[in-house]
Amino acid sequence: MHGGIDHDIAVLFVCLGNICRSPMAEGAFRAAARERGLACTVDSAGTASYHLGHQPDPRAIAIAEKHGIDIAGQSARQVERNDFYRFSHIVALDRANLEGLRARAPRDTLARLSMLMDAVDGRRGEPVADPYYGDAEAFEAAWSVIALGVDAWVERLLREGASLRV
Ligand code: 4NP
């Protein structure tokens, strides 16, 4: 702990377009962290630049809303160099996203790169399949996996000694 008001824990979720999976992960993680009292910063970004400035996919907004979480205010952005210094944990949604992050990571980054499901016992390395070309069911499936993953991340961070919100 170095005091001050900044959170020691800052988590960035990363997928390809930053309009489907990582916005859902950001929203679900923020809600889970709030519920458990975990003090942290959270954001999301994409490895690609196709959707810069776009709102999350309407199907992602709808599934989040169904679970009581509003992600409509998010706006897509691409991963940038400074993210590797601002975030303590950068969490990829699938293996290709993780490889993309590794390829960009500056040598002196202190950010820990992992995959979402790495925090879930027995499901380490499991990807969250891209629902973009799928149907509503694909979004439901992605949400279920993401919800499991973000809960496990919140628990892991609390176990690792992240500070509680006061
Ligand atoms: P995401 O889904 O990585 O979960 O945001 C995608 C969104 C857009 C594209 C691919 C995946 N795209 O090819 O435009």
CB-count exposure of residue 155 (10 Å: 0-12, 13-18, 19+): middle
**For residue 119, which of 148, 162, 161 has the smallest C-alpha distance?**
148
Which pLDDT value is given to residue 166?
Answer: 60
Q: Which residues of the chain have pLDDT under 70?
A: 1-6, 166
Q: What is the pTM of this model?
A: 0.94
User: What are the pocket residues of ligand 1 if the criterion is a CB atom closer than 6 Å to any ligand atom?
Assistant: 15-21, 50, 130, 132
User: Ligand 1, atom 10: nearest CA belongs to which residue?
Assistant: 17
Contact 69, 31 (CB under 8 A): yes
Per the residue annotation, which of 15, 40, 57, 118 is the catalytic one? 15
pLDDT in tens, 21-46: 999 999 999 999 999 999 999 999 99
40 is catalytic: no
Tokens standing for residue 119: 């925090």
21 is catalytic: yes
